Structure 1
Amino acid sequence: MNVGAADDSALGRLAHDLVQTRAEDMYYDELRRQVRHYKTTKEGRKRMCRELEEMKRETADKKARMIAERLISMGLPLDMVAEGTSLAREVVEELAAKKDK
């Protein structure tokens, strides 16, 4: 769906709401209420920060694992892979074992 061309249907209104940055510009009350909570209350902002930090950690870990898998495929010694990716040696060994299967 082209969100920029959202119509007045239920789906169009939802698409409109999902790209809004201000709760006041949203159609759906529940979504508006939740966005307002996460953007305007101390508790909401704190929770969003925690969630974003967790997402960053997960993304960094996933990227490190992908790089480690490539380095293992290239034949680099596992201790070098662990050092280069900052992954624990045990994690690198698990990735290498999966590659060998």
Structure 2
Amino acid sequence: MPETSTAFSWEVPADHPAFAGHFPDKPILPGVVLLDRALLLAEAAFPDKTIRQIGNAKFLSPVAPGEHLRFSFRAGVRGSIAFEIDCAGRVVASGSLIPAS
């Protein structure tokens, strides 16, 4: 089976409710919001797969309100889906998702 890949863009809304209280003087997007968006986009990219679990996730750089993110997904021969989230060339998160068998 050949490897496939796809990508999506998302501008983080400056008024996203997750910024409330996280943190008042320097808001950053919680990692759980990045994972939630990655899961939704992965299932859109690979509609024949249902994500069962997060294999791993690394958060490498904070995301601020209004930033433009690019979510890239790559599926390999073993069925897992690798993802990477970047902002203007800066990788902010990466990991893998495991679909149901």
User: What TM-score, normalized to structure 2?
Assistant: 0.29
Where is the helix percentage greater, Structure 1 or Structure 2?
1
Rg larger in 1 or in 2? 1
Query: Which structure is higher in RCO with an 8 Å CA cutoff and minimum separation 6?
Result: 2
User: What TM-score, normalized to structure 1?
Assistant: 0.29
Where is the strand percentage greater, Structure 1 or Structure 2?
2
